Protein backbone atom coordinates (compact mmCIF):
# COMPACT_ATOMS: atom_id res chain seq x y z
CA UNK A 1 0.00 0.00 0.00
CA UNK A 2 2.79 2.45 0.88
CA UNK A 3 4.68 1.73 -2.34
CA UNK A 4 1.48 2.10 -4.35
CA UNK A 5 0.64 5.42 -2.70
CA UNK A 6 4.13 6.79 -3.31
CA UNK A 7 3.99 5.66 -6.94
CA UNK A 8 0.63 7.37 -7.44
CA UNK A 9 1.92 10.58 -5.89
CA UNK A 10 4.96 10.54 -8.17
CA UNK A 11 2.75 9.91 -11.19
CA UNK A 12 0.64 12.91 -10.18
CA UNK A 13 3.57 15.32 -10.47
CA UNK A 14 3.31 15.71 -14.30
CA UNK A 15 -0.44 16.24 -13.94
CA UNK A 16 0.14 18.98 -11.41
CA UNK A 17 2.68 20.70 -13.64
CA UNK A 18 0.20 20.51 -16.51
CA UNK A 19 -2.42 22.19 -14.34
CA UNK A 20 0.00 24.98 -13.41
CA UNK A 21 0.73 25.62 -17.10
CA UNK A 22 -2.96 25.71 -17.97
CA UNK A 23 -3.85 27.98 -15.04
CA UNK A 24 -1.03 30.42 -15.78
CA UNK A 25 -1.90 30.50 -19.47
CA UNK A 26 -5.58 31.22 -18.75
CA UNK A 27 -4.71 33.99 -16.30
CA UNK A 28 -2.40 35.67 -18.81
CA UNK A 29 -5.21 35.64 -21.39
CA UNK A 30 -7.54 37.63 -19.11
CA UNK A 31 -8.07 41.12 -20.62
CA UNK A 32 -6.00 43.78 -18.90
CA UNK A 33 -3.81 41.41 -16.92
CA UNK A 34 -2.26 42.15 -13.54
CA UNK A 35 -1.08 45.56 -14.73
CA UNK A 36 -4.68 46.76 -15.02
CA UNK A 37 -5.42 45.44 -11.53
CA UNK A 38 -2.63 47.52 -10.01
CA UNK A 39 -3.03 50.61 -12.20
CA UNK A 40 -6.71 51.31 -11.67
CA UNK A 41 -6.05 54.85 -10.43
CA UNK A 42 -7.19 57.25 -13.20
CA UNK A 43 -4.51 59.74 -12.11
CA UNK A 44 -1.72 57.27 -12.80
CA UNK A 45 0.56 58.40 -15.61
CA UNK A 46 1.61 56.15 -18.51
CA UNK A 47 5.14 56.16 -17.10
CA UNK A 48 3.88 54.79 -13.79
CA UNK A 49 1.88 52.09 -15.57
CA UNK A 50 4.92 51.13 -17.60
CA UNK A 51 6.93 50.88 -14.38
CA UNK A 52 4.32 48.53 -12.89
CA UNK A 53 4.51 46.38 -16.01
CA UNK A 54 8.30 46.16 -15.62
CA UNK A 55 7.92 45.33 -11.95
CA UNK A 56 5.57 42.44 -12.74
CA UNK A 57 7.60 41.28 -15.72
CA UNK A 58 4.51 41.01 -17.94
CA UNK A 59 6.46 42.29 -20.93
CA UNK A 60 8.68 39.21 -20.90
CA UNK A 61 7.89 36.18 -23.09
CA UNK A 62 5.23 33.87 -21.72
CA UNK A 63 7.58 30.92 -20.93
CA UNK A 64 9.87 33.22 -18.94
CA UNK A 65 6.92 34.56 -16.96
CA UNK A 66 5.77 31.02 -16.18
CA UNK A 67 9.21 29.84 -15.04
CA UNK A 68 9.59 32.96 -12.91
CA UNK A 69 6.19 32.32 -11.30
CA UNK A 70 7.06 28.65 -10.75
CA UNK A 71 10.55 29.04 -9.28
CA UNK A 72 10.61 32.79 -8.66
CA UNK A 73 7.87 35.11 -7.49
CA UNK A 74 6.40 36.89 -10.50
CA UNK A 75 4.32 39.23 -8.35
CA UNK A 76 7.17 40.52 -6.21
CA UNK A 77 8.11 44.07 -7.21
CA UNK A 78 11.45 43.89 -9.03
CA UNK A 79 12.07 46.93 -11.17
CA UNK A 80 15.01 48.20 -13.18
CA UNK A 81 16.06 51.83 -13.06
CA UNK A 82 17.20 53.76 -16.07
CA UNK A 83 20.77 52.76 -15.28
CA UNK A 84 19.82 49.07 -15.52
CA UNK A 85 20.37 48.35 -11.80
CA UNK A 86 17.56 46.37 -10.10
CA UNK A 87 15.80 48.15 -7.23
CA UNK A 88 15.31 44.85 -5.36
CA UNK A 89 17.88 42.12 -5.12
CA UNK A 90 17.95 38.70 -3.57
CA UNK A 91 16.36 35.31 -4.06
CA UNK A 92 12.75 35.32 -5.26
CA UNK A 93 10.72 32.43 -3.96
CA UNK A 94 8.15 30.74 -6.23
CA UNK A 95 5.19 28.48 -5.76
CA UNK A 96 7.47 25.45 -5.55
CA UNK A 97 8.79 27.01 -2.34
CA UNK A 98 5.27 27.78 -1.09
CA UNK A 99 5.37 31.51 -1.90
CA UNK A 100 2.45 32.76 -3.98
CA UNK A 101 3.38 36.40 -3.51
CA UNK A 102 1.31 39.18 -2.02
CA UNK A 103 -2.36 39.88 -2.58
CA UNK A 104 -3.06 42.86 -4.83
CA UNK A 105 -6.13 43.83 -2.80
CA UNK A 106 -4.99 43.18 0.79
CA UNK A 107 -1.24 43.77 0.37
CA UNK A 108 -0.43 40.72 2.47
CA UNK A 109 1.12 37.32 1.73
CA UNK A 110 -1.39 35.09 -0.05
CA UNK A 111 -0.66 32.06 2.13
CA UNK A 112 -1.41 34.09 5.27
CA UNK A 113 -4.82 35.03 3.84
CA UNK A 114 -5.58 31.46 2.81
CA UNK A 115 -4.45 30.15 6.20
CA UNK A 116 -7.02 32.40 7.86
CA UNK A 117 -9.83 31.06 5.66
CA UNK A 118 -9.04 27.33 5.72
CA UNK A 119 -10.45 26.69 9.25
CA UNK A 120 -13.82 28.18 8.28
CA UNK A 121 -13.95 26.17 5.04
CA UNK A 122 -13.02 22.92 6.78
CA UNK A 123 -15.56 23.60 9.52
CA UNK A 124 -18.43 24.03 7.08
CA UNK A 125 -17.23 21.36 4.66
CA UNK A 126 -16.70 18.67 7.29
CA UNK A 127 -20.10 19.39 8.82
CA UNK A 128 -21.87 19.08 5.47
CA UNK A 129 -19.89 15.96 4.51
CA UNK A 130 -20.61 14.34 7.86
CA UNK A 131 -24.37 14.86 7.62
CA UNK A 132 -24.37 13.95 3.93
CA UNK A 133 -22.76 10.56 4.65
CA UNK A 134 -24.44 9.84 7.99
CA UNK A 135 -27.91 10.59 6.62
CA UNK A 136 -27.50 9.64 2.97
CA UNK A 137 -25.89 6.19 3.41
CA UNK A 138 -28.52 4.77 5.83
CA UNK A 139 -31.31 6.19 3.65
CA UNK A 140 -29.84 4.40 0.64
CA UNK A 141 -29.55 1.12 2.53
CA UNK A 142 -33.12 1.25 3.85
CA UNK A 143 -34.46 2.30 0.44
CA UNK A 144 -32.81 -0.74 -1.14
CA UNK A 145 -34.07 -3.10 1.54
CA UNK A 146 -37.60 -1.62 1.24
CA UNK A 147 -37.35 -1.62 -2.56
CA UNK A 148 -40.65 -0.60 -4.15
CA UNK A 149 -42.20 0.55 -0.86
CA UNK A 150 -43.34 3.96 0.24
CA UNK A 151 -40.00 4.80 1.85
CA UNK A 152 -38.11 4.00 -1.35
CA UNK A 153 -40.49 6.05 -3.47
CA UNK A 154 -40.44 9.01 -1.09
CA UNK A 155 -36.65 9.14 -0.84
CA UNK A 156 -36.27 8.96 -4.62
CA UNK A 157 -38.62 11.92 -5.07
CA UNK A 158 -36.83 13.93 -2.36
CA UNK A 159 -33.44 13.10 -3.89
CA UNK A 160 -34.59 14.37 -7.28
CA UNK A 161 -35.90 17.56 -5.68
CA UNK A 162 -32.64 18.15 -3.78
CA UNK A 163 -30.63 17.60 -6.96
CA UNK A 164 -32.88 19.90 -8.99
CA UNK A 165 -33.01 22.85 -6.58
CA UNK A 166 -30.16 25.35 -7.20
CA UNK A 167 -28.02 25.98 -4.16
CA UNK A 168 -28.38 29.76 -4.33
CA UNK A 169 -32.18 29.52 -4.56
CA UNK A 170 -32.41 27.14 -1.60
CA UNK A 171 -30.15 29.37 0.49
CA UNK A 172 -32.19 32.49 -0.27
CA UNK A 173 -35.47 30.68 0.45
CA UNK A 174 -34.15 29.51 3.83
CA UNK A 175 -33.01 33.03 4.68
CA UNK A 176 -36.46 34.38 3.76
CA UNK A 177 -38.22 31.61 5.69
CA UNK A 178 -36.25 31.72 8.95
CA UNK A 179 -35.46 35.42 8.80
CA UNK A 180 -38.86 36.91 7.99
CA UNK A 181 -41.80 34.62 7.22
CA UNK A 182 -41.61 32.19 10.13
CA UNK A 183 -40.78 34.85 12.78
CA UNK A 184 -43.71 36.97 11.55
CA UNK A 185 -46.05 33.98 11.69
CA UNK A 186 -44.93 33.11 15.24
CA UNK A 187 -45.37 36.73 16.33
CA UNK A 188 -48.88 36.88 14.90
CA UNK A 189 -49.79 33.51 16.44
CA UNK A 190 -48.53 34.32 19.95
CA UNK A 191 -47.43 37.96 20.53
CA UNK A 192 -46.85 37.28 24.22
CA UNK A 193 -44.37 34.47 23.66
CA UNK A 194 -42.82 36.14 20.60
CA UNK A 195 -43.05 39.89 21.27
CA UNK A 196 -40.62 40.87 18.49
CA UNK A 197 -40.10 39.72 14.92
CA UNK A 198 -36.50 38.56 14.96
CA UNK A 199 -34.73 35.88 12.89
CA UNK A 200 -34.95 32.38 14.33
CA UNK A 201 -31.48 31.46 13.09
CA UNK A 202 -28.50 33.66 12.18
CA UNK A 203 -28.71 34.79 8.56
CA UNK A 204 -24.96 34.83 7.97
CA UNK A 205 -21.50 34.94 9.43
CA UNK A 206 -19.45 32.39 11.32
CA UNK A 207 -20.04 33.66 14.84
CA UNK A 208 -21.10 36.66 16.90
CA UNK A 209 -17.57 37.93 17.57
CA UNK A 210 -15.97 37.61 14.14
CA UNK A 211 -15.75 41.36 13.63
CA UNK A 212 -14.55 42.10 17.15
CA UNK A 213 -11.74 39.55 17.09
CA UNK A 214 -11.80 36.04 18.42
CA UNK A 215 -14.34 33.37 17.54
CA UNK A 216 -16.16 31.40 20.26
CA UNK A 217 -15.80 27.61 20.35
CA UNK A 218 -17.91 25.79 17.81
CA UNK A 219 -20.32 24.39 20.43
CA UNK A 220 -21.28 27.98 21.30
CA UNK A 221 -22.16 28.94 17.73
CA UNK A 222 -23.78 25.83 16.29
CA UNK A 223 -26.76 27.94 15.23
CA UNK A 224 -24.56 29.67 12.66
CA UNK A 225 -23.78 26.32 11.02
CA UNK A 226 -27.35 25.04 10.64
CA UNK A 227 -28.47 26.84 7.48
CA UNK A 228 -25.24 26.70 5.40
CA UNK A 229 -24.62 23.09 6.44
CA UNK A 230 -28.13 22.09 5.42
CA UNK A 231 -27.76 23.79 2.03
CA UNK A 232 -24.45 22.03 1.35
CA UNK A 233 -25.56 18.68 2.76
CA UNK A 234 -28.70 18.38 0.61
CA UNK A 235 -26.69 17.54 -2.50
CA UNK A 236 -24.60 15.01 -0.59
CA UNK A 237 -27.63 13.35 0.99
CA UNK A 238 -29.32 13.00 -2.40
CA UNK A 239 -26.20 11.73 -4.15
CA UNK A 240 -24.99 9.31 -1.49
CA UNK A 241 -28.46 7.86 -0.93
CA UNK A 242 -29.02 7.17 -4.63
CA UNK A 243 -25.58 5.64 -5.20
CA UNK A 244 -25.89 3.59 -2.02
CA UNK A 245 -29.34 2.37 -3.02
CA UNK A 246 -28.16 1.26 -6.47
CA UNK A 247 -25.10 -0.48 -5.05
CA UNK A 248 -27.10 -2.13 -2.27
CA UNK A 249 -29.67 -3.48 -4.73
CA UNK A 250 -26.86 -5.28 -6.52
CA UNK A 251 -25.44 -6.66 -3.28
CA UNK A 252 -28.60 -8.03 -1.65
CA UNK A 253 -28.96 -10.62 -4.40
CA UNK A 254 -25.55 -12.16 -3.79
CA UNK A 255 -25.05 -15.66 -2.38
CA UNK A 256 -23.32 -14.54 0.82
CA UNK A 257 -26.37 -12.46 1.76
CA UNK A 258 -28.61 -15.52 1.42
CA UNK A 259 -26.08 -17.51 3.44
CA UNK A 260 -26.11 -14.90 6.20
CA UNK A 261 -29.91 -15.08 6.33
CA UNK A 262 -29.80 -18.88 6.42
CA UNK A 263 -27.42 -18.76 9.39
CA UNK A 264 -30.10 -16.97 11.38
CA UNK A 265 -28.42 -13.57 11.62
CA UNK A 266 -30.63 -10.60 12.37
CA UNK A 267 -31.69 -8.40 9.50
CA UNK A 268 -29.67 -5.53 10.94
CA UNK A 269 -26.49 -7.63 10.82
CA UNK A 270 -27.27 -8.88 7.33
CA UNK A 271 -27.93 -5.48 5.77
CA UNK A 272 -25.58 -3.21 7.69
CA UNK A 273 -22.66 -5.51 8.51
CA UNK A 274 -22.46 -7.80 5.50
CA UNK A 275 -24.31 -5.97 2.75
CA UNK A 276 -23.42 -2.34 3.43
CA UNK A 277 -19.68 -2.95 3.62
CA UNK A 278 -19.57 -4.34 0.09
CA UNK A 279 -22.03 -1.76 -1.18
CA UNK A 280 -19.74 1.03 0.03
CA UNK A 281 -17.15 0.22 -2.65
CA UNK A 282 -18.61 2.48 -5.39
CA UNK A 283 -19.14 5.21 -2.82
CA UNK A 284 -15.39 5.32 -2.11
CA UNK A 285 -14.88 6.71 -5.61
CA UNK A 286 -16.75 9.88 -4.66
CA UNK A 287 -15.86 10.04 -0.98
CA UNK A 288 -12.11 10.49 -1.50
CA UNK A 289 -12.29 13.62 -3.69
CA UNK A 290 -15.14 14.94 -1.53
CA UNK A 291 -12.98 14.84 1.61
CA UNK A 292 -9.99 16.68 0.15
CA UNK A 293 -12.22 18.84 -2.00
CA UNK A 294 -13.35 20.56 1.20
CA UNK A 295 -10.36 22.87 0.80
CA UNK A 296 -11.87 24.23 -2.40
CA UNK A 297 -14.78 25.62 -0.42
CA UNK A 298 -18.39 26.16 -1.45
CA UNK A 299 -18.28 29.49 -3.20
CA UNK A 300 -22.02 30.11 -3.66
CA UNK A 301 -23.06 28.97 -0.18
CA UNK A 302 -20.28 30.93 1.51
CA UNK A 303 -21.25 34.02 -0.46
CA UNK A 304 -24.94 33.76 0.42
CA UNK A 305 -24.36 33.20 4.13
CA UNK A 306 -21.31 35.52 4.42
CA UNK A 307 -19.18 32.58 5.51
CA UNK A 308 -15.48 33.60 5.60
CA UNK A 309 -14.10 30.60 3.72
CA UNK A 310 -11.98 29.89 0.66
CA UNK A 311 -14.93 29.90 -1.71
CA UNK A 312 -15.93 33.43 -0.78
CA UNK A 313 -12.28 34.47 -0.88
CA UNK A 314 -11.96 33.15 -4.44
CA UNK A 315 -15.08 35.02 -5.60
CA UNK A 316 -13.87 38.26 -4.04
CA UNK A 317 -10.45 37.77 -5.62
CA UNK A 318 -11.94 37.23 -9.08
CA UNK A 319 -14.06 40.36 -8.71
CA UNK A 320 -11.06 42.42 -7.57
CA UNK A 321 -8.71 40.89 -10.20
CA UNK A 322 -6.50 39.66 -7.39
CA UNK A 323 -4.41 37.32 -9.54
CA UNK A 324 -2.13 35.85 -6.85
CA UNK A 325 -5.07 34.80 -4.66
CA UNK A 326 -7.03 33.29 -7.57
CA UNK A 327 -4.07 31.27 -8.79
CA UNK A 328 -3.20 30.09 -5.29
CA UNK A 329 -6.75 28.85 -4.63
CA UNK A 330 -6.86 27.06 -8.00
CA UNK A 331 -3.50 25.34 -7.42
CA UNK A 332 -4.44 24.26 -3.89
CA UNK A 333 -7.75 22.91 -5.20
CA UNK A 334 -5.90 20.93 -7.87
CA UNK A 335 -3.57 19.44 -5.27
CA UNK A 336 -6.55 18.53 -3.09
CA UNK A 337 -8.27 16.84 -6.04
CA UNK A 338 -5.20 14.75 -6.89
CA UNK A 339 -4.85 13.69 -3.25
CA UNK A 340 -8.56 12.86 -3.23
CA UNK A 341 -8.23 10.26 -5.98
CA UNK A 342 -5.27 8.70 -4.19
CA UNK A 343 -7.36 8.61 -1.02
CA UNK A 344 -10.14 6.84 -2.94
CA UNK A 345 -7.76 3.98 -3.78
CA UNK A 346 -6.75 3.73 -0.14
CA UNK A 347 -10.42 3.64 0.90
CA UNK A 348 -10.96 0.71 -1.47
CA UNK A 349 -8.46 -1.37 0.49
CA UNK A 350 -9.85 -0.27 3.86
CA UNK A 351 -13.43 -1.15 2.89
CA UNK A 352 -12.57 -4.44 1.17
CA UNK A 353 -9.56 -6.29 2.65
CA UNK A 354 -9.48 -8.57 -0.43
CA UNK A 355 -8.08 -5.71 -2.51
CA UNK A 356 -4.30 -5.54 -2.56
CA UNK A 357 -2.12 -3.17 -4.55
CA UNK A 358 1.08 -4.66 -5.90
Q: What is the pLDDT of residue 298?
A: 80
Select from 210, 232, 34, 8 the least CA-distant residue to 127: 232
Rounded-to-integer distance, Cα 203 and Cα 184, Å: 15
User: Residue 356's pLDDT is what?
Assistant: 62
* H helix runs in the chain, sequence order: 2-28, 33-38, 46-56, 62-71, 110-145, 150-164, 167-176, 182-189, 223-251, 255-262, 267-268, 276-279, 281-292, 299-304, 310-319, 323-351
- Return the pLDDT at 40: 60
Q: What is the pLDDT of residue 229?
A: 92
Looking at residue 74, its pLDDT comes to: 45
Residue 61 CA: distances (Å) to CA of 5, 89, 202: 38, 21, 51
The domain locations on the chain are 18-97, 110-351
Per-residue pLDDT tens for 226-279?
999 999 899 889 988 988 888 888 888 788 888 888 888 787 778 877 777 778
- Write down the pLDDT at residue 75: 45
Torsion of CA 246, 250, 256, 260, to 10 degrees: 50
pLDDT of 4 reads 73
Q: What is the pLDDT of residue 38?
A: 64
| Assigned superfamily of 110-351 | MetI-like (1.10.3720.10)
* Sign of the four-CA dihedral 170, 172, 177, 178: positive
In this prediction, the residues of the chain whose per-residue pLDDT falls under 50 are 74-91, 210-211
Distance of alpha carbon 83 from alpha carbon 80, whole angstroms: 8
Amino acid sequence: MIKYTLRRLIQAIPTLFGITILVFMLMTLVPGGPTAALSGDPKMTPQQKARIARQLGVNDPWPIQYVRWLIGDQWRQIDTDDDGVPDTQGTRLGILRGDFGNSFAQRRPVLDIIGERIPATLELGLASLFFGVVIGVPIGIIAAVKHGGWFDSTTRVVAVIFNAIPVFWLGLILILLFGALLPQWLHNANPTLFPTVSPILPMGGRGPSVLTGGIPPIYQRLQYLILPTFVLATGGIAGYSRYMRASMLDVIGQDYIRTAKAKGLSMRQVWFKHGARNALMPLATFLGPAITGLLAGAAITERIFSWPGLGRLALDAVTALDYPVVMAVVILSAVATILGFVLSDILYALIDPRIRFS
